[in-house]
Amino acid sequence: MLDRDSIFGDFSDEAFSRGMCKLITQKTLSLLQYHKTRHEDFQKILNPYANQKILDDIKIKVFDDFDEQGVANGVDRLIDTILREHLFYYPKSKAINPLVLGDFSEEAIINAVTQIIDERILASFIEIPINTQSQPKKQTTYNSTNANQYVYILYNEILYQEYNTHIYKIGWTSRTPQIRAAEISQGTGVVGKWKVGHQWKVEDGHWLEQEIFKHFAQYRLPYSEQFNFKGQTLEKVAEQISRFINNHGESPKRAVEIAEKLKQQEREHAARIYQEELKEIEIKNTYDKECKKIKDEIDQRVYYLIQKEIEPIELKQKENRMWFYIPLGFFFIPYYVEDGKSWIAGIILGVFVSFIVGFVLSVFFQKDDKQKAIREKYTKYQNLPNDLQKLKTIKNELFHK
């Protein structure tokens, strides 16, 4: 079990986690300083802009559990976090065996943590890969015709080629990037030479530099022109900067021109879409109009065919009614003659009355089953779909009858 000593407070979960972060931070910073004074080239793998309070701001849960294995895993995670922040090269390490922490007393934990950190620092220094990255390709990806300033990206020859790091300097100059790189390389405590990786000849270097700083703020080291593009080669970073310049401009004036151009493109795009929509509406209206025209022709043809079949039946019905009117009219003639009226008045009135009564009775008693069947036969041509091809087919069928 853990001894309840002062470094870990009351050994509550929170106090133990806070004490362990403090212990590992102190031991790491102390050992890094120690090896820096002992080994001349050790500072080459040190990140001068490392966050020394990284464990104070750690967001992850340090210890999943507070048994032996849980504590070992948490210590392993904390040491990895702080060493990856401070060292440019940090090889993968084996997980910590809980037995290394001894009886889990404060003294045992301090000794074990110190030994583990020291071993991993030495492993990083000894196992640095050499020449894992080739000389970057020289490339000028943007040249303004009205420019006399430069934006540049510099790389450190030793850090880039020998230690496979991706820390670059981005800045501007009114002279040449080569002169600026030489000036920076001559500074006190500078490791290796800074060389020009890529350069862009632009109108307003200072304005563009500040815009690039804003755009790539997530990679920028605090209060510095240096950016840590972890895992990204010079060519890849330069490609991103070139794309940014082309899309946003090299000066405020150019930025306004590009913005206006983009707005104009958006307006043109909106106009094209509007014209396409109008064209689609016009095509649809033409289509609907053609469908309506054919439907009207079909309706007329159906009416014609119905009338063609019904007409003989109606003629037959008229003939039947005539034979009904005549006897009825002669039936009224004697009635008027007996009443002292003239034959002519009796005939006229008899015909008139017989016509009216005969028509009403003939319509009422005449069965219309044949006409009904004919009309039902053509009901399938009602409520036709708006399908031009189908309508044409139906029209052809009807007009060949």
The pLDDT assigned to 290 comes to 92
pLDDT tens per residue, range 22-37: 888 888 888 888 888 8
Calculate the CA 363 to chain-centre distance.
74
Residues 6+ apart with CB under 8 A from 328: 350, 353, 354, 357, 358
* Structure-token pair, residue 314: 């109606």
Residues 6+ apart with CB under 8 A from 225: 169, 170, 171
Look-up: residue for tokens 């019905």? Answer: 317
SS3 306: helix
> What is the number of residues in the chain?
401
pLDDT below 70 — which residues of the chain? 1-6, 9-11, 40-41, 44, 49, 57-61, 89, 125-146, 161-164, 187-191, 317-368, 401
The pLDDT assigned to 96 comes to 85
The pLDDT assigned to 129 comes to 46
Q: What is the CA radius of gyration of the chain?
A: 50
* DSSP secondary structure letters along 321-336: HHHHHHHHHHHHHHHH
Look-up: residue for tokens 């309506």? Answer: 292
The pLDDT assigned to 210 comes to 92
Task: Please answer whether residues 31 and 133 qualify as being in contact, where contact means their C-beta atoms are separated by less than 8 angstroms.
Answer: no
Strand 139-143 to strand 149-156: parallel, antiparallel, or no bridges (unpaired)?
unpaired
Residues 6+ apart with CB under 8 A from 12: none
**What interhelical angle do 252-338 and 234-248 show, nearest 10?**
60
The pLDDT assigned to 374 comes to 81
